[in-house]
Structure 1
Amino acid sequence: MDELEIKKLWQSTNDKLEKSFVIDKKNTEEITHMKVYSLLGSMKPIKFFALLVGILWVGIGGIALSSIYLNSFNEANKFFLFSASIQVGLTAISLYIYLYQLITIYQIDITEPIIRTQEKLSSLKISTLWVTRLLFLQLPVWTTFWWNETMLTDWGILQWIMTLFFTLSFTVIAIWLFFNIKYENRNKKWFQLIFSGKEWTPLMKSMELLEQVEEYKDQNAST
């Protein structure tokens, strides 16, 4: 076998390897996109349920509170009124985030570039952290909505100590969670206890799959 034949054989082998690599890369990306699409699809039912329940809660609560503010504000229990207003307001903001997440999930296309899908997953991750922070901020008002003016005159010191202890405890917990619920703490036990199930696990698995594809592409590119 002369030198020319060796060069032709080498070139033919190299072309076949490159073609095989391109096909393998394409198949890997397509399979990964399909898996990600399926994982994100499993998040839709819980998002729809949360959105539906939230709309009913905010709708009924908003109508009731509006009626109180307009018609019987002076006679209303201010503790209940302000506590319920905060709760309904935070829930309304959370509803907007859930709607945004559903739209984002439906916009993900299995044919789009991986980098574009990663951007959408990142926005889903950030919005999930934010909606959880907001929902935990409701904790203190669940301890104050039943307060009333008679407490100021009829209650003893022990009753106030116990009541304020629970309210302050829930407030501290809510504030602590608001500032500590962040992606950097994802490996901590308390974080994993909060973020488990259909609203978080599929999202993390999807991000890991895309990262693996990117690592695979980088490894092959370097070789």
Structure 2
Amino acid sequence: MENTDILTIWKSYDQKLNENLLLNRKNAEDITKIKVRSFLTSMRPLKIFAILAGILWVVFVDTLIVLLFPVASPFFLISAGIQVLLTKLSIGVYLYQWVLIELVDIDEPVLTTQERIAHLQASTLWVTRILFLQLPVWTTFYLTQSLIESGGILFYTIQIGFTAGFTLLSIWLYRNISYENRDKKWFKLIFNGIEWNPIRKSMELLDQIKDYSTVR
């Protein structure tokens, strides 16, 4: 066998090998995209439940505010108003997240999918911060004028300490809930479940796809 024949066979083998490698990478990329889609769709039921539960809660609280407005304590009206307003904002964020999940397509470019998941990740942090801002009003909605006038030192001590503690906690969480703190123990305690894990796993898988593209 002449050298030219050997070179031809070698080039043919090398070409087939490259084609097989590219096919394997393409298959791995497609499987990874399917996994990403599966992770994200697993979040859909929770988002829908949060939206429906939030709407029912808003309707309930708004109805109470309207019906009790002439007789209710100002503390109740203000606390309920703040709480229902933050809940409405949260519902808006959950609707936005639901749309993002539905828009994710395994056939779209990796960078587009990464951008959608990045928005999903950022909005998850934001909605959690918003929900924690509600903490103080849960310590004031039951207050009445008569309760304040008749309350003793013990009542004021407990009430002020309770409200101040929840207020400081809500402010601290609002300021510190960020992606930069994702490795902190308290962060993992809050974000450990279907609200966060599918997003984290999806981002990790998409990074793998970028590695496939780089190898090419």
Query: If the TM-score is normalised by the length of the shorter chain, which range does it land in?
Result: over 0.9
Offset at residue 8 of structure 1 (A): 1.9
- Once structures 1 and 2 are overlaid, which stretch shifts more, 148-157 or 80-89? 148-157
Q: Does structure 1 residue 195 correspond to structure 2 residue 191?
A: yes
* Residue correspondences, number: 216
Could you tell me how far apart the structure 2 residues matched to 1:22 and 1:59 are? 55
Q: 1:42 and 2:50 equivalent? A: no
Question: What does residue 21 of structure 2 align with?
Answer: 21
Of 5-14 and 22-31, the range deviating more from structure 2:
5-14
Map of 1:112 onto structure 2: 108
**More deviation, 9-18/54-63:** 9-18
TM-score, normalised by the number of residues in structure 2: 0.94
| RMSD (Å), alpha carbons | 1.5
Q: CA deviation at 1:6?
A: 3.8
**1:25-174 maps to which residues of 2 (within 5 A)?**
25-69=25-69, 72=70, 75-174=71-170
Deviation of residue 67 (structure 1)? 4.3
Distance in 1 between residues matched to 2:49 and 2:158, nearest whole Å: 36
Q: Which amino acid aligns with 1:134?
A: I
Q: 2:35 is paired with a residue of what secondary structure?
A: helix
Separation in 2, partners of 1:184, 1:212:
21
Q: Identify which range, 152-161 or 45-54, moves more after superposition.
A: 152-161
**Gaps in structure 2 of 5+ consecutive residues:** none
Q: Secondary structure at the match of 1:197?
A: coil
Alpha-carbon offset, residue 103 of structure 1:
1.0
Please give the TM-score of this superposition, normalised by the length of structure 1.
0.91
Deviation string for 1:21-67 (max 9, x for gaps)? 22112101110111111111111111111111101001221233244
Structure 2 contact 47–94 (Cα < 8 Å) conserved: yes
Q: Matched residues in 2 for 1:30 and 1:63: separation?
A: 50
For residue 76 of structure 1, report the CA deviation from its aligned partner.
2.6
Residue 103 of structure 1 aligns with an amino acid whose one-letter code is V
Report the CA distance between 1:123 and its aligned residue: 0.6
% identical equivalent positions: 49
> C-alpha deviations, 1:58-113, integer Å up to 9, x for none?
122123324445xx2xx430000000000000000000010111111111111111
For residues 156-214 of structure 1, the C-alpha deviation after alignment (integer angstroms, 9 at most, x for no partner) is 22211111001000000000000111111111111111111111111111111111221
Amino acid at match of 1:15: Q
Q: Which amino acid aligns with 1:54?
A: G
Q: In structure 2, give the amino acid aligned to 1:215.
A: D
More deviation, 137-146/151-160 = 151-160
- Most deviating of 111-120 and 169-178: 111-120
How far 1:13 moved relative to its partner? 2.6
